[in-house]
Chain A
Amino acid sequence: MDRLGLIGKPSDWLIASHYDASTLRERMHIELVEIPIEEVTSLGEVEGGEQGALVIYERLRAIVDQYQLNGLTLRCFDLLTTVKNTGCIALAKLNAEGIPAACEGDVPTLITMMMAKNITGCPGFQCNPARVNTETGQMLWAHCTIPYNMVESYTLDTHFESGIGVAIHGELPLGDYTLVKVSGDLSRIFAEDVQLTRNQYEPNLCRTQVWLQTKQVIPYLLSKPIANHHVLVRGHHAQSFLKYLG
């Protein structure tokens, strides 16, 4: 049984990212462990740069050990007003260490990241759709953290929405990837093999920004998306994901 920590409740804006704990237990042998956000916010205000971000990492690492977690999702925006820094570096490090770690208390995305680890042995990049080109099939996806072991290089920046703390602008290798998402009750899954064609770095977007060449993603996203966040995984594995839930 995998133990996944839900540190704080899902963010208020995740209105379609619900989950069914009993289905997750029965079909994926996942136990969700609810952990109060105060276990992190009790740190109080930390230093506002990388040093403070590493304090958050150490606290999350201790929570992983204390609760014997195999993965976690963090209601990270609560840190902005309490700890006055971000969870971006902490999640990047945990993911690189083999602990799937998702932002915003998003359980379906964490489940998708666990699937990615089980199927490919690799971490996944939790990302938002940011732009679409319906004529070419090109799409821009972005987020403020990314597993350190998915990038060729990175620089540190502030977190997009808040302008504070530390976020990561990563540059990913070009080539084959899979874009995937499963719903929190496991009733739906979307997976498509895509190409990462370009990295970019613009303001007014989350800091890691990648362009994907897609086929079916855009019509799916503009009509029947499985919520907002999706997961990008290195390599072409769409068929393996689609078979995973039987």
Chain B
Amino acid sequence: MTKHKIASLPFAVWMLIFTILPLGMVIWFAFTDSKGTFTFDNILKIADFSETFLISILLGALATLICLVMAYPVAFIISRTGERVQQTLVMLTMMPMWMNFLLRTYAWMSILEDKGFINQFLGLLGMEPIHMINTRFAVVVGMVYNFLPFMIIPLYSVMVKIDKSIIEAAEDLGSNGFQVFRRILLPLSAPGIVTGITMVFVPAVSTFVISKLLGGGKEWLIGDFIENYFIGTAKDYNIGSALSLVLMVLILLCMAVTGLVDRDEEKGGIGG
């Protein structure tokens, strides 16, 4: 027992310095003014940003949903291939992340522009150009592209542990494809789904830069405002912290809802 405790000490110290302490500072700043006196003003000012919060959460949720729908079959297919192929496919999934995030988002700007790659291609086919850049659509595309690997990897690591014989057994007993998915795969991969959603939703909701590069900077997301309060022109740690705090609470609420759904899912899967 004590051995375990000693082994976890470095992590505990790390958590204390880099997670607990900064979190405490965020809370401190959120509830004080520039002179350090206690106030609720910062939190009350958040009301001005309610629409931005709503849009950020909606776009983040949409991106997460698209990631989930796209990643689920991919992760399943990867998990059913041979070991060698699996390694290669996982590496290919991760590969875009070796390139700088900004550079990748810049590339998407060139892809989605009115005279960008997609529209040039459509032009070759004699089709009308589609306006995509500087819209919410482009922002969601940027989120999906940047965060997709964070959905595939956790799903894959759970699915690869699902015993092939369980699926075969279900099929032998007469389950059709949908039933196998609904009653075997889904419940068994639920932990991966929850992890994936967390890993995509959290950065997507709080993202900045994507909205500036792909959204044309006309409609900032909550991450852009927070950035502006910390390292932008409007340097104000107090309001910035209040925004961060409210964002954290909202994300926790969203995660709690996902967690509940997940538990129901598991119950339904096993019981029914």
A-B interaction: no
Q: Which residues of A approach B to under 8 Å, CB–CB? A: none
| B interface with A by C-beta (< 8 Å) | none
